[in-house]
């Protein structure tokens, strides 16, 4: 468990100081894939550097498994830093060494002998999908593959936390999946806690369980990704849920219209038709669509309803986990 407790951090700027983090608190459970999302300059890297103990907060503290890191110095600080492997968007690789040689660097520093290094490097290159590239030079690989070397190197010493600070930044779209898969396998197969910062909520949507959104150094929302998506007013939902575009004419064919978020195959497949037949109400999908969070489908639909018991049908949908938002009714009982 990583806890960030009321962390604030400012830097001297030209003239006035720049506040990079304002009283940020987070709880990152052990073994989670946790996303920190926000626009450029919102404080993601500063938060990442505070968690990696490369930066000291002005106020507040970071706890790694309960250890208060605020006052650590010298050897104890170095030991705590070794708990966190770091990958950035600009990993420095040694081009005079092979891919395997790069991953072996931290193991050489630890004093592992050659057979132990070979075994560990082989396992890690396999984990990041580069087992066949071991003898190549980093310059012979794509940028996405170089990021995966950096992931393997960051995991080499067995750090329980992996900090991927914009690790998918500035690589080709088709290579993003490979980097995300490497991070996901680190979590799933090594039990590593992964903190992933990115400007794109869509990147976090593909792999993260939990999310924090930063804006101008402040935490604006945090929680499970599915929980945040269930609230259509959250920033995360607004960024990730399919947009609803319906015309007035489409809505006008029904007595009322509502928006609904449904999570999971079962809810999306059966809740609406079942509500319709159970309560004798016509329930039609007149807008929206389905997206995916990891493996889970999430629907954001506008529904048109007709029938006396539409209120009861909607209450029934809500009781079964559907998140219903009532849109304003127009003068003829039509959604505005």
Ligand X SMILES: Nc1ncnc2c1ncn2[C@@H]1O[C@H](COP(=O)(O)OP(=O)(O)OP(=O)(O)O)[C@@H](O)[C@H]1O
Contact residues toward ligand X (CB under 6 A) are 11, 18, 20, 38, 40-46, 166, 199
- Dihedral sign, CA of 221, 47, 211, 203? positive
Nearer to ligand X, 45 or 193 (CB): 45
**Nearest distance from C-beta of residue 42 to ligand X, angstroms:** 4
User: For residues 236 and 310, which CB has a smaller minimum distance to ligand X in the complex?
Assistant: 236
Phi, psi for 100 (deg, rounded to 5): -60, -40
Token pair in block for residue 303? 């529904």
**Which of 110, 218 has the CB closer to ligand X?**
218
Which C-beta is closer to ligand X: that of 166 or that of 209? 166
Supply the minimum distance, in Å, between the C-beta of residue 179 and ligand X. Answer: 16
Q: How far is the CB of 223 from ligand X (least distance, A)?
A: 20
Residue nearer to ligand X on the CB measure, 202 or 269? 202
Residue keyed to tokens 């609406």: 272
Q: For residue 31, how far is the Cα from the chain centroid?
A: 13
Q: Where are the alpha helices (DSSP H) in 72-128?
A: 74-81, 99-110, 114-127
Residue 123, phi then psi, degrees to nearest 5: -60, -45
CB under 8 Å to 152, separation ≥6 — which residues? 103, 121, 124, 125, 127, 128, 130, 182
Minimum distance from CB of 292 to ligand X (Å)?
25
Closest CA to 271 of 240, 314, 236: 314
CA nearest to 100, candidates 142, 138, 127: 138
Q: Which residues contact 63 (CB under 8 A, 6 or more apart)?
A: 1, 2, 3, 5, 69
Nearer to ligand X, 12 or 249 (CB): 12
Residue 155 pairs with which residues in a beta bridge? Answer: none
Instruction: State in angstroms the smallest separation of the CB of 184 from ligand X.
Output: 22
Closest by CA to 33, choosing from 196, 177, 154, is 196
From the CB of 237, what's the least distance to ligand X, in Å?
21
Shortest Å, Cβ 207 to ligand X:
18
Environment class of 211 (CB within 10 Å of its CB; exposed 0-12, middle 13-18, buried 19+) = buried
Q: Which is nearer to ligand X, 11 or 265 (CB)?
A: 11
In the complex, minimum distance from the CB of residue 23 to ligand X, in angstroms, rounded to a whole number: 15
Instruction: Pick between residue 107 and residue 214 the one whose CB is nearest to ligand X.
Output: 214
């Amino acid at each position: 468990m990583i806890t960030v407790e009321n962390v604030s951090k400012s830097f001297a700027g030209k003239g006035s100081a720049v506040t990079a983090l304002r009283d940020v608190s987070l709880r990152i459970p052990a073994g989670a894939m946790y996303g920190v999302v926000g626009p450029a300059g919102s404080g993601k890297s500063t938060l990442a550097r505070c968690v990696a103990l490369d930066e000291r907060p002005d106020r507040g503290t970071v706890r790694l498994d309960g250890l208060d890191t605020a006052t650590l110095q010298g050897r104890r600080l170095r030991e705590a830093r070794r708990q966190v492997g770091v990958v950035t968007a600009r990993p420095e690789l040694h081009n005079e060494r092979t891919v395997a040689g790069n991953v072996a660097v931290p193991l050489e520093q630890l004093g592992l002998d050659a057979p132990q290094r070979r075994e560990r490097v082989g396992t890690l290159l396999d984990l990041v999908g580069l087992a066949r590239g071991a003898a190549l030079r980093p310059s012979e690989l794509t940028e996405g593959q170089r990021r995966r070397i950096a992931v393997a190197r960051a995991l080499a010493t067995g750090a329980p936390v992996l900090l991927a600070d914009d690790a998918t930044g500035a690589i080709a779209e088709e290579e993003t999946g490979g980097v995300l898969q490497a991070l996901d396998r680190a979590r799933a197969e090594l039990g590593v806690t992964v903190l992933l910062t990115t400007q794109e909520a869509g990147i976090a949507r593909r792999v993260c369980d939990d999310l924090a959104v930063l804006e101008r150094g402040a935490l604006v929302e945090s929680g499970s990704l599915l929980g945040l998506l269930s609230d259509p007013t959250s920033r995360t939902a607004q960024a990730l849920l399919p947009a609803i575009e319906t015309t007035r004419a489409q809505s006008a064919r029904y007595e009322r219209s509502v928006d609904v978020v449904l999570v999971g195959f079962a809810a999306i497949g059966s809740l609406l038709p079942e509500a319709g037949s159970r309560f004798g109400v016509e329930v039609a999908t007149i807008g929206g669509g389905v997206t995916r969070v990891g493996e889970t489908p999430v629907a954001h639909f506008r529904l048109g309803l007709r029938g006396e018991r539409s209120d009861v049908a909607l209450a029934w949908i809500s009781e079964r986990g559907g998140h219903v938002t009532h849109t304003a009714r127009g003068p003829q009982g039509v959604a505005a």
